[in-house]
Amino acid sequence: MPMSWTSPAALTALCMGLMFAPPGRAPARATPPDAKAEAPARAIPNSTNKKVKRVAPSVGTPPPVTKTKYQRVASAKTTTTRARPKPQLARVSSKQTKARAARYSARNSKAPRKVNKELKNLRKDIAKRKLNFEVAYTEAMDKPMAELTGLSLPSKPLARAAKQNSEARAQLAGRNLMVRSVARAAAKPRAMARASKGDLPGGLGAPVGSSSGGSGGAGLGTDFADMCSPSADAFSWGDSLGPIRNQGACGSCWAFAAVSTLEASNAIINGAKPDLAEQHALSCSGGGSCYGGWYTPIYDWLGGGKDGLQTEQSVPYQANDNKCSANGKTAYEVETWGWVDPVAVMPKTADIKSAMCKYGAITAAVAATPAFIAYSGGTFDEKSNANVNHAVVLVGWDDDRGAWLMRNSWGTNWGEDGYMWIAYGSNRIGEYAAWAMVEEDANAKNNSNNGPVVQSFSERNFRVTNDSGQNVEVFVQWNTKRNNSDTWLPGAPGSNKTASYTIAAGKSLNLDDPTHKPFMLQAKKLRVWAKSTKGKANTWEAWKTLDLELVPKAYEATEMDVFELHLLPDGADSAGGGGPSPKDKDDLWDEAYDLFAGGDYAAAKAEFIAFKTLYPNDQNIPYALYFMGVAEHELGNYWDALLYFAEFADAHYKHDWIPYVYYWAGSAYVGLGECGYATQLFEVVIYGDLGAPKSWISAAKDTIAWLAKDKGKVCSSWD
């Protein structure tokens, strides 16, 4: 039995995302009346001289909707209580804890009188204020403040911050870590549909994550609970970092913080963990000296297209202001960098979390005080208002503690083996927070964060959807490239050599090519015809004697496109065969749009499919995919909706409407009960810097909060 869920009335904002078309966006550039139309698959009579009226693909704002029902796709899964998984931060072993306590105990027994007096006063203050951290005789207490810290702020640190962030966004072209990750989620349905040889259930495939989804079901190679999710209670990039470093008797915290951030970025993006040279950054970046400096010049220096950062082995740390002598090209360059907030000195906690998920570890400033220097464990919540003087790295958070996981550069005999849990906002932690991303290495061990690679294609795959109301047998001959020449397979038109496939009513089939891998048929043009298998007289023979052009001209995409032919009742098809002469291009678009605006989603979808089939290179194809996906969603066909959204996201990932596609894809995943995927997609709408309006961002936030409270009624999976 299908299950349903209904959002509470309080989630009115959710329905803001259920608008038919994105509000507040510039209308699509309509084809001018005198523009040359793409060649259709079949010649049509010339249009009359009437004035062509093109509608903008926008429907406006519908009346408010206070609740929405999703018929969750039934699966073989046993109904259980499924709550959002709580991330598990790496736990420090009892052995490590005991060893650390023993080290501090041994040092405390040898502490000078001055140190004992300072620790006594600190502990008295901690007890009086009921603070949550401990202090001990750390190695840092043996050094003067100038050697421990070294952060020197420029006169106007954020003077060109807005421009820097604008340049960084342009450099990344929207491909931050969150967007790259969610792109894999969006592409999953299409990849599964392409890989399916058999009859595709539910229209175009099995629900992702369901038992019928096969071994390649839900999951991006990383469990959702372990992914960086801004709405999660906890997360850490700690596993992406090497051992704790020690800046020694040199005020070079600024160099250590920047290099540590780059090491984390390199591990995340390239899967490698080299020990990079802080001395190289200290001596050559121009950012400062052992008497103080600023971290962003290091990013500018490494992003200048010159030599990259050397490794520790090549340039060992000397803790002094050596003359710059290192040279030679390395792979450790900065692609771009930016500020978490280009306006506010202290970014919001939510903004730092989202930046951590988008870019990796965060370089930040903090006020190092005597209590900070003596910290040995717990959650540091001194909340001093002293000026910032030290640069550190934020690598995670824990909302239960209300704290950041902070990485320092004072060795392991400080804090919790070199780390500190520091309460949000305490000691100005997070001021001047910045991020940096390294260049992607061509030999990266982990290329899962690569953006889509655009290629040129001269063929398309072929799928047949049987909307005729009866079972049919389909015959096909196709023209494709073999051995550098165009060849008809399995035989030339007019011969009796054909491939045949049986397709049940209401089902789809990816036609396969047994002579080629991957198995899915791909061609420039083909002959295709069909007949009823139930003794009815219906036949589809328009393309038995005419070539159906799958590729009027070469096209660019990140993977080969699929030409989808719908067999319609009475011998007609979506390519204009067997029925009345195809409509004029503009009339077909207008009719599809009007049907959609009027709420006739099934008819609108069919018209948009016909438009896409006849004019596959038209500039309005992205909008057609969007409306087709929304129509399927409104019909409750969530899997089918996902395939259209996946095609949009794959082929048009730089399009202005991509945040709306991600929102609807998230909503479709909710309908499938796949709440891990849904949350990923909603989060990229909120935090991905893709230009979503505030109403859609608000709707996505409310939906995530609602899903997090679900106990299995909606969410069948959080994979």
Rounded Cα gap, residues 342 and 178, in angstroms: 20
The answer as to whether 523 is a domain residue is yes
The answer as to whether 528 is a domain residue is yes
- Reduced to 3 states, what is the DSSP secondary structure of residue 418? coil
pLDDT for the residue 44: 30
Strands 334-339 and 431-438: antiparallel
Closest CA to 330 of 283, 274, 285: 274
Helices (H), 285-431: 296-302, 349-359, 370-373
pLDDT for the residue 223: 72
Rounded Cα gap, residues 217 and 73, in angstroms: 15
The answer as to whether 598 is a domain residue is no
pLDDT for the residue 570: 85
Tokens read off for 203: 């229209």
pLDDT for the residue 406: 98
- Reduced to 3 states, what is the DSSP secondary structure of residue 124? helix
What digits encode the pLDDT tens for the residues 402-449?
A: 999 999 999 999 999 999 999 999 999 999 999 999 987 765 444 444
386, 369 in Cβ contact below 8 A?
Answer: yes
pLDDT for the residue 449: 45
The answer as to whether 544 is a domain residue is yes
Beta strands in 662-709 (DSSP E): none
Q: Which residues contact 269 (CB under 8 A, 6 or more apart)?
A: 177, 360, 437, 438, 440, 441, 444, 446, 449
Residue environment code for 350-380, b if the CB has 16+ CB neighbours within 10 A, otherwise e: ebbbbbbbbbbbbbbbbbbbbbbbbbbbbbb
Q: How many CA atoms lie within 13 A of 3 on its CB side?
A: 18
- Reduced to 3 states, what is the DSSP secondary structure of residue 52? coil
pLDDT for the residue 80: 63
The answer as to whether 18 is a domain residue is no
pLDDT for the residue 198: 53
Tokens read off for 188: 């999953």
The answer as to whether 530 is a domain residue is yes
Q: How far is CA 172 from CA 30, 152, 455, 662, in A?
A: 29, 29, 19, 19
Where residue 510 sits, what CATH number does that domain have? 2.60.40
The answer as to whether 244 is a domain residue is no
Distance between the two ends of the chain, CA-based, in angstroms?
23
Tokens read off for 18: 């259920």
Collect the ranges in the chain with pLDDT lower than 70: 1-80, 184, 190-222, 442-453, 518, 535
Rounded Cα gap, residues 132 and 392, in angstroms: 21
Active site residues: 253, 390, 408
- The count of structural domains within the chain is 1
Rounded Cα gap, residues 689 and 685, in angstroms: 8
- Reduced to 3 states, what is the DSSP secondary structure of residue 546? strand
627, 596 in Cβ contact below 8 A?
Answer: yes
Residue environment code for 448-457, b if the CB has 16+ CB neighbours within 10 A, otherwise e: ebebbeeeeb
Domain that holds residue 546: 453-575
pTM score, whole prediction: 0.83
Rounded Cα gap, residues 452 and 18, in angstroms: 28
What digits encode the pLDDT tens for the residues 131-174?
A: 999 999 999 999 999 999 999 999 999 999 999 999 999 998 87
Q: How many CA atoms lie within 13 A of 294 on its CB side?
A: 15
Q: What is the DSSP code (8-state) at residue 410?
A: B
Angle at 202 between CA 196 and CA 206, to 5 degrees: 45
The answer as to whether 537 is a domain residue is yes
pLDDT for the residue 3: 34
pLDDT for the residue 77: 47
For the chain, what is the mean pLDDT? Answer: 82
